[in-house]
A and B are shown apart, each in its own frame.
Chain A
Amino acid sequence: MRPLPVGRHGLLIESGSGEEAEALHAELLRRRTAGDLPDVREIVPAARTVLLQGLDDPSRLAQEMTQWQVPPLTDTRGETVDIPVRYDGPDLAEVADLWGVTADEVAGIHSATAFRVGFCGFAPGFAYLTGLAERFHLPRRSTPRTKVPAGSVALAGPYTGVYPRSSPGGWQLIGTTGAALWDPARDRAALLVPGVRVRFVPEEGT
């Protein structure tokens, strides 16, 4: 864990890996719920870091954190969200090629993977899901699409994501879901929030 300065009221904690950053994020949330964290406006996890904003005394927290014992993530705790998916994306064949498997096997591998929301970004409710084995990591498309439909289930790098609404995008599209990823009128606007576990459940007939 390496704390880096972010202005007078922020801290960027850099971890050695995505897993470590997720574990630190979970610990920060646990401490905040327990009233064991100074007031903070934002806790923003990302690929290998957690950003804290709106702190009164970042250096004091940075020093305290050197004493923390951060427990590793467990696979069994926390909420799980099931996302129904039809594996019918336009890049399914290309992904199958890159993985060296059939299109059906792509669906099998993807739906058998236990995902976790590492972080959100890009658009409201867009979650970067970790959990795919390294041999299934993929490059982005060389030419991004100008329009990716809402509900597209997609892959890029180590991540899986679902487009909450139609937008440009460079990820490989393998499927479609009808789940509402983002609805600001809902109590919980984002279906997928950092730390939540996610399973993709193939819909009947796909």
Chain B
Amino acid sequence: MTDRGIEVVRAGALTTVQDLGRPGHAHLGVTCSGALDRTSHRLANRLAGNPAEAATLETTLNGCAVRVTADVTVAVTGAPCPVTVEGRPAPWGAPVRVPAGSVVAAGAATHGVRSYLAFSGGIGIEPVLGSRSTDLLSGLGPEPLADGAALPLGAPSGPPSHSHLVAYPGPPRSLVLPMLLGPRDDWFTPAALRTLASSSYRVSTASNRIGLRVEGPGLERRGAGELPSEGMAMGAVQVPPDGLPVVFLADHPTTGGYPVIGIVPEEALCAAAQAAPGTALRFTPVRPRRPLVPHQR
């Protein structure tokens, strides 16, 4: 049997190996990392016959192309894009049989940002702290893909699946991010909370795997105090001194010293990961239903 692997023909703007990340290490300063759009990552794996934790390739805006060294099943999900095998059109969002020696390519995203390429058997590099994900903040896991790089594939574990209905996402006109206020909403003026709830923001070009950055009205703090470093959660909306909220994504720092006005639930972060720069964005902050400890605050 030939060695199962892929050779990078066109790495694309930023293509990284991603799985479900390395949770449980935040106390060591190691962030969760993993696929930004977990739903699309899982779907790609399911279509290719892999378990959810198999490693896929996550592309950024302009896709990537790889040559497979053995017969493999490939599935492309996430940001819709033209898929080709040896230059011939192939379906997006479905298992595609790719013969040994052929080049499979995911083109530029027609909308959205990140496409996911799952290969039967998954990317088979050695895991670091239980994950194969590239953590761009701390440099754990493999380097982002470079032209000419070679990566091994694991052994296929199950048959590809044709039976799932794959919803083809429409172009997102705007992104709405729900948010539960806290832990530090009391660091902001009532006017800032109104601004947050009523303003239209735009996704900034400075967004990356660490955070979704926005353009729009700044949020004013009540006082000038400094916050001692505290733990940062995935989805935390941190507000640095310029007042512009940053939504922390998978490669976010584990601790930080700017107040977090609210938390975007993890299931809403998949949509955030697919919002291209310039996309209109609104936050819908709500207060937690009841105080954590009655009569204490």
Contact = CB atoms under 8 A, between A and B. Distances in A.
Interface of A: 2-8, 10-12, 41-51, 53-54, 58-59, 62-63, 66, 119-126, 128, 184, 189-190, 193-194
B173 interface: no
The 9 closest A-B pairs by CB, nearest first: A51-B231, A7-B263, A121-B255, A47-B228, A44-B231, A4-B183, A5-B182, A62-B292, A120-B29
Contact of B265 (A2, A7, A48, A190): A7
Contacts, number: 124
A184 B140 CA distance: 9
B285 to A, nearest CB: 12
B288 A122 contact: no
Given A42-B26, A46-B228, A12 B255 contact: no
B129 interface: yes
Contacts of B265: 7-8
A128 B230 CA distance: 12
B296 interface: yes
Interface string B3-41: 000000000000000000001111111100000000000
B290 interface: yes
A62 B297 CA distance: 13
Contacts of A125: 28-29
Contacts of A66: 293, 296
B230 A10 contact: no
A8 B180 contact: yes
Nearest to A3: B292
Given A66-B293, A122-B255, A12 B231 contact: yes
Given A51-B233, A189-B30, 18 more contacts: A2-B296, A2-B297, A3-B292, A5-B288, A5-B292, A6-B233, A7-B263, A44-B26, A47-B229, A49-B228, A51-B26, A51-B231, A51-B232, A121-B29, A123-B29, A184-B129, A189-B25, A190-B29
